[in-house]
Amino acid sequence: MSDPPKYILEGLEKQSPETLREIAQIATEMADRKESQREAELEEQEVDDQPEDLNCDNAPSSATLTKKEINGNQYYYWQWREGEKIKSEYIRPVDPKR
């Protein structure tokens, strides 16, 4: 886990214990919501039919093939979970001619 930004810590330091507990609850709810959104995105992006020319030998263990759209272009990525984090590894464009 990385350290929170200094400006956040400085602001928290000025708060009462009651306010800090409220902030902790809000932060926990926010983290849960973001994790749920990330899970939903992962499920939506899974590719059903894997391209025949895609080499799976180099795929990370337990990775699934996903498609991501960036600036109107689609790309293949490997995606997998390491603990609480979702990791991605770029493969190539969906349309190799682009």
pLDDT value of position 49: 67
Lookup: tokens for 19: 């306010």
Residue 73 is given by DSSP the state E
The residue that leads in pLDDT, 12 or 49, is 12
Quick: pLDDT tens for 23-68: 999 999 999 888 877 776 665 566 666 777 777 777 777 888 888 8
Query: What whole-number distance in Å separates Cα of residue 74 and Cα of residue 68?
Result: 6
Query: What whole-number distance in Å separates Cα of residue 47 and Cα of residue 45?
Result: 6
Exposed, middle or buried by CB within 10 Å (0-12, 13-18, 19+), for 42?
middle
Q: Each residue of 48-61: b (16+ CB within 10 Å) or e?
A: eeeeeeeeeeeeee
